[in-house]
C-alpha cells in the first residue's frame, strides 16, 4: 500500500491544484453520426450500423440535436461558442473502436472560456471552464478469464459496440487553485453542480453510477508560498460524487507523502478502487500519447448561426443556482437550513416534490433531512431510493396536521409504507395507528394514571402544573403512544384543578 501523509500535514506544506475532465453521455434519440438507437442497455451489438462500426465506404453525418445540446451546455457554463469549428480524428488502436480512431474535437472545441460557481459550506468558488467539446463514445469491453473480470490476467475480451458512436461531451476545467482544505469537497460540489445542470438542461440523465457522467480527476501539489506547479496525476474510474472527494483526498495524501520524503510524483493515469478506497497506477506504458490528430475529412465544419445561438441562450431553462435561490425564498428557509438541504444529496428535489404534493416546506424538510435521511443512511442508499415517495411524505404530514397521528406514530406509518403495506392511510388503518382523542377512552386512561400515582396527582392539585408531564407520560405508555398528548393534558388538569 502507498504511504500517506495525514491530510493536515499535506495542507501545512502544500496547496492542491485541481483539474477535472468530465464526460457526459447525451440522451439524444440516435447516435452522434448515425441513426442507430442511443438507448443504452440493449442486447449486445444490436444497435450498430456501417457508420458506427467504421465499415469502409460509410459516411458519418452529425446529429443536429447533439450540436444543440453541446451549445446549450456551453452557454449554461458561460462559455463562448466557436463561430466555426471542426471534428478531428484521434487515432489509437484498441478494440473498443473498430475504426482505430475516435471522432472528437481537438484544437477547435465548439465551446470554450467559460466559468461556473460552486458553493461549499457557504463559501463560493469559481471554476473556470477551458472547453466543452463533442466526441463519440467507444464500445464496451468485458474481460474473460483471470477470475477478476479485469483486463490484467484476462485470457481474451468480448466487445459490444452498442455504445460505439454515441454522443459524448467532454467538459474540461482550467487548473483550479486556492482551494486549500476544501479542494476535494469543491471537486465533488462541481460534479454535483454539473449533474444538476445536465438534468436541468435535459441533455443527459447524468447518473454517475450508470456511467452517464464520468470524471477524470487531476490533482497536483504546489509547495505553499511558491508558484511552481507540481506534477499531476489523473485518476479514472471515479464513479460517484463521494468517490470524487475520496479519490482527490487520497491522491493529495499519497503525493504529499512522496514529496515530503523528497521524492518525485510520477505523471501518470491512476485507477480508483471503490472497494478499497485507494488509487493504483494505470497500466498505460509511459510512452507519450501520440494520437496524430487531424481534421476529420468526412465531416464538414460546423459554423453555428449566431441567431440560433442567441435563440438557444434565450431559451435556457432556469439553472440550478437560480432555482435554489428561488426555492429558498419561497420556502422561507434560513441560509443554514438551505445549506443542510444542499448538503443532503437529492433532498432539494424531494422537498420540492413533497411541497408540490401539499406539505408545508418546513415539514417536508424535517421528514427528508431527519427520519428519512436516517433510514437512507442506515440502508446505505441515496435519499431518493429510501422507498418512500414525496407524495407519501405529504400524505403522512397531512395525517399529522389532521391530528390523526403524532410525529412518533408517523414513524410507524413510514415503517408500514416501507414494508409495502400500502398508502399511509392504509397503514394507519391496518396497524391501528390513529391517535386516540376520544374522551371516553382517554378519560379512563387518565383516571388510571391518577390512581396509580397519587403523590404526583397531589402535587398537581397543589399547583405544580409542571408535574403533569409524568402523568401524561404514564397515559401515553398505557395507550402505547397513541394518545393525543394535548388532549390528555387538558383532561388531567380538568380533573386535578
Which residues are at the interface with other proteins (CB under 8 A)?
Answer: 28-30, 34-38, 43-50, 53, 61-67, 84, 86, 91, 93-95, 141-144, 151-152, 154-161, 283, 290, 292, 294-295, 297, 299-305
Extended strands (E) in 229-373: 233-238, 269-273, 278-281, 294-295
How far is Cα 37 from Cα 126, in angstroms, rounded to an integer? 38
Q: Which of the residues 8 through 27 are near Zn ion (CB under 5 A)?
A: none
Q: Least distance from C-beta 54 to Zn ion, angstroms?
A: 10
**Complex with Zn ion: residue 58 or 389, whichever CB lies closer:** 58
Q: Least distance from C-beta 62 to other proteins, angstroms?
A: 5
**Complex with other proteins: residue 299 or 321, whichever CB lies closer:** 299
**Complex with Zn ion: residue 49 or 172, whichever CB lies closer:** 49
**Complex with Zn ion: residue 34 or 492, whichever CB lies closer:** 34
- Report the candidate in 425, 402, 413, 367 with the shortest Cα–Cα distance to residue 484: 402
For the chain, the residue count is 497
How far is Cα 295 from Cα 107, in angstroms, rounded to an integer? 10
**Which one of the spans 36-44, 101-109, 171-179, 368-376 is the region binding Zn ion (CB under 5 A)?**
36-44
Is the separation of the CB atoms in 239 and 209 below 8 Å? Answer: yes
How far is Cα 86 from Cα 162, in angstroms, rounded to an integer? 25
45 binds, among Zn ion, other proteins, none (CB under 5 to 8 A by kind): other proteins
Single out the residue of 13, 21, 44, 49 in contact with Zn ion (rule: CB under 5 A). Answer: 49
103 binds, among other proteins, Zn ion, none (CB under 5 to 8 A by kind): none
Is the separation of the CB atoms in 91 and 101 below 8 Å? Answer: yes
Is residue 75 a contact residue for Zn ion (CB under 5 A)?
A: no
**Complex with other proteins: residue 156 or 334, whichever CB lies closer:** 156
**Complex with other proteins: residue 45 or 226, whichever CB lies closer:** 45
How far is Cα 77 from Cα 190, in angstroms, rounded to an integer? 12
Single out the residue of 11, 26, 32, 36 in contact with Zn ion (rule: CB under 5 A). Answer: 36
Q: Least distance from C-beta 313 to other proteins, angstroms?
A: 18
Radius of gyration of the chain (CA): 29
User: Cα dist. 167→39, 99, 108, 162 in Å?
Assistant: 11, 16, 17, 12
Calculated CA dihedral for residues 350, 352, 353, 355, nearest 10 degrees: 120
Order of strands, edge to edge, in the sheet holding 213-223? 80-81, 111-120, 123-136, 167-173, 14-25, 213-223, 233-238, 269-273, 278-281
**Complex with other proteins: residue 182 or 236, whichever CB lies closer:** 236
Is the separation of the CB atoms in 222 and 10 below 8 Å? Answer: no
How far is Cα 349 from Cα 52, in angstroms, rounded to an integer? 37
Q: Least distance from C-beta 210 to other proteins, angstroms?
A: 20
The residues with which 203 forms a beta bridge, in sequence order, are: none
Q: Least distance from C-beta 100 to other proteins, angstroms?
A: 9
152 binds, among other proteins, Zn ion, none (CB under 5 to 8 A by kind): other proteins
314 binds, among other proteins, Zn ion, none (CB under 5 to 8 A by kind): none
**Complex with Zn ion: residue 55 or 486, whichever CB lies closer:** 55
How far is Cα 307 from Cα 191, in angstroms, rounded to an integer? 31
Q: Is the dihedral of CA 60, 61, 63, 68 positive or negative?
A: positive
Is residue 97 a contact residue for Zn ion (CB under 5 A)?
A: no
Q: Least distance from C-beta 49 to Zn ion, angstroms?
A: 3
Cell readout for 45 is 451489438
Is residue 34 a contact residue for Zn ion (CB under 5 A)?
A: yes
Q: Least distance from C-beta 82 to other proteins, angstroms?
A: 12
Single out the residue of 5, 18, 52, 75 in contact with Zn ion (rule: CB under 5 A). Answer: 52
Is the separation of the CB atoms in 416 and 432 below 8 Å? Answer: no
Number of residues that bind Zn ion (CB under 5 A): 5
Which stretches of the chain bind Zn ion, using CB under 5 A? 34, 36, 49, 51-52
Amino acid at each position: 500500500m502507498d504511504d500517506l501523509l495525514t491530510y493536515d500535514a499535506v495542507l501545512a506544506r502544500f496547496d492542491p491544484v485541481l483539474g477535472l475532465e468530465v464526460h457526459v453521455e447525451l440522451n439524444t434519440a440516435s447516435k452522434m453520426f448515425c441513426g442507430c438507437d442511443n438507448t443504452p442497455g440493449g442486447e449486445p451489438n444490436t444497435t450498430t450500423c456501417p457508420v458506427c462500426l467504421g465499415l469502409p465506404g460509410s459516411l458519418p453525418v452529425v446529429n443536429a440535436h447533439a450540436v444543440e445540446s453541446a451549445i446549450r451546455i456551453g452557454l449554461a457554463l458561460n462559455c463562448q461558442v466557436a463561430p466555426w469549428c471542426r471534428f478531428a480524428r484521434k487515432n489509437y488502436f484498441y478494440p473498443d473502436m473498430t475504426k482505430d480512431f475516435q471522432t472528437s474535437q481537438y484544437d477547435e472545441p465548439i465551446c470554450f472560456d467559460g466559468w461556473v460557481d460552486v458553493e461549499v459550506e457557504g463559501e463560493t468558488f469559481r471554476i473556470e471552464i477551458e472547453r466543452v467539446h463533442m466526441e463519440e463514445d467507444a464500445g464496451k469491453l468485458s474481460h474473460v478469464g483471470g477470475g477478476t473480470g479485469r483486463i490484467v490476467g484476462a485470457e481474451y475480451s468480448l466487445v459490444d459496440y452498442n455504445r460505439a458512436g454515441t454522443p459524448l461531451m467532454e467538459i474540461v476545467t482550467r487548473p483550479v487553485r486556492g482551494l486549500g482544505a476544501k479542494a476535494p469537497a469543491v471537486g465533488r460540489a462541481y460534479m454535483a453542480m454539473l449533474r444538476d445542470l445536465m438534468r436541468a438542461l435535459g441533455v443527459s440523465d447524468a447518473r454517475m453510477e450508470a456511467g452517464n457522467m464520468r470524471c477524470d480527476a487531476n490533482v497536483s501539489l504546489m509547495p505553499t508560498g511558491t508558484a511552481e506547479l507540481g506534477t499531476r496525476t489523473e485518476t479514472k474510474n471515479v464513479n460517484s460524487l463521494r468517490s470524487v472527494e475520496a479519490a482527490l483526498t487520497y491522491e493529495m495524501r499519497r503525493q504529499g507523502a512522496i514529496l515530503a520524503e523528497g521524492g518525485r510524483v510520477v505523471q501518470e493515469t491512476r485507477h480508483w478502487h471503490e472497494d478499497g478506497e485507494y488509487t493504483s497506477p494505470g497500466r498505460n506504458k509511459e510512452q507519450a500519447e501520440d494520437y496524430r490528430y487531424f481534421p476529420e475529412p468526412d465531416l464538414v465544419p460546423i459554423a453555428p448561426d449566431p441567431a440560433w445561438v442567441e435563440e438557444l441562450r434565450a431559451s435556457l431553462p432556469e439553472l440550478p443556482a437560480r432555482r435554489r435561490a428561488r426555492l429558498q425564498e419561497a420556502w422561507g428557509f434560513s441560509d443554514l437550513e438551505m445549506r443542510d438541504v444542499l448538503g443532503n444529496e437529492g433532498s432539494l428535489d424531494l422537498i420540492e416534490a413533497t411541497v408540490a404534493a401539499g406539505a408545508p416546506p418546513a415539514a417536508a424538510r424535517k421528514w427528508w433531512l431527519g427520519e428519512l435521511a436516517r433510514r437512507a443512511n442506515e440502508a446505505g442508499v441515496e435519499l431518493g431510493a429510501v422507498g418512500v415517495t414525496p407524495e407519501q411524505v405529504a400524505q403522512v404530514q397531512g395525517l399529522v396536521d389532521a391530528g390523526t397521528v403524532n410525529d412518533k406514530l408517523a414513524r410507524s406509518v413510514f415503517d408500514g409504507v416501507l414494508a409495502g403495506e400500502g398508502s399511509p392511510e392504509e397503514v394507519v388503518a391496518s396497524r391501528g395507528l390513529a391517535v386516540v382523542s376520544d374522551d371516553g377512552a382517554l378519560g379512563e386512561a387518565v383516571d388510571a394514571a391518577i390512581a396509580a400515582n397519587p403523590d404526583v396527582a397531589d402535587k398537581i392539585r397543589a399547583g405544580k402544573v409542571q408535574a403533569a408531564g409524568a402523568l401524561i407520560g404514564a397515559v401515553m405508555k398505557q395507550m402505547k403512544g397513541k394518545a393525543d398528548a394535548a388532549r390528555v393534558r387538558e383532561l388531567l388538569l380538568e380533573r386535578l384543578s
